[in-house]
């Protein structure tokens, strides 16, 4: 049966802008950036975790017709079909301040919960991201 989760996917409106955000601001690494001809296969990972990739996919043809892609983009930008990514960090408050200084939009400030300290942010397209500092 299964032994790992290797790749998961979120939609982005623009892959270059996605790189600026996920790599330039959030500090993730490019895993693979390949022009396959029919699509740009673009994945990223947390530094040191190359076996767990996130595919940044642009909705559009030929995977879906333009009208369908427009519906996907409409839902993505209003946060309704946006993906969700959960990260962990050693220091939630420090990471929050670092990202806030870079202009990242937060939905939720660091808050202490039963399971640790966590907070939430929004990517430029509408996807939701959370990161938490688990209870040690």
Residue of 74, 88, 94, 102 that binds other proteins (CB under 8 A): 74
Q: How far is the CB of 122 from other proteins (least distance, A)?
A: 6
83-110 burial: b if 16+ Cβ within 10 Å, else e: bebeeebeebeebbeebeeeebeeeeeb
Q: Give how many residues touch other proteins by CB under 8 A.
A: 27
Footprint of other proteins on residues 105-134 (CB under 8 A)? 105-109, 111, 113-115, 118, 120, 122, 124-126, 128, 130
Distance CA 13, CA 19 (A): 11
State yes or no: residue 100 binds other proteins (CB under 8 A). no
Helix (H, G, I), strand (E, B) or coil at 17: helix
State yes or no: residue 97 binds other proteins (CB under 8 A). no
Q: How far is the CB of 57 from other proteins (least distance, A)?
A: 16
Distance CA 52, CA 106 (A): 24
The 3-32 contact track toward other proteins, x by CB under 8 A, reads: ----------x-------------------
Interacting residues of 118 by C-beta distance below 8 A, sequence separation 6+: 92, 108, 110, 111, 130, 131, 132, 133
Helix (H, G, I), strand (E, B) or coil at 44: strand
State yes or no: residue 84 binds other proteins (CB under 8 A). yes
- Partners of 7 in the β-ladder: 53
- Binding stretches for other proteins (CB under 8 A): 13, 70-71, 73-74, 77-79, 84, 86, 105-109, 111, 113-115, 118, 120, 122, 124-126, 128, 130
């Amino acid at each position: 049966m299964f032994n790992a989760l290797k790749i998961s996917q979120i939609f982005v409106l623009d892959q270059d802008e996605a790189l600026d955000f996920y790599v330039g601001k959030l500090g993730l690494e490019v895993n693979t950036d390949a022009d396959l001809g029919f699509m740009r296969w673009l994945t990223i990972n947390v530094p040191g975790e190359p076996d767990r990739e996130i595919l940044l996919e642009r909705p559009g043809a030929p995977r879906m017709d333009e009208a369908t892609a427009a519906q996907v983009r409409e839902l993505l930008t209003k946060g309704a079909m946006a993906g969700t990514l959960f990260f962990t960090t050693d220091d939630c408050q420090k990471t929050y301040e670092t990202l806030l200084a870079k202009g990242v939009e937060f939905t939720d400030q660091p808050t202490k919960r039963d399971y640790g300290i966590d907070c939430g942010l929004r990517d430029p397209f509408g996807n939701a991201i959370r990161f938490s500092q688990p209870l040690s």
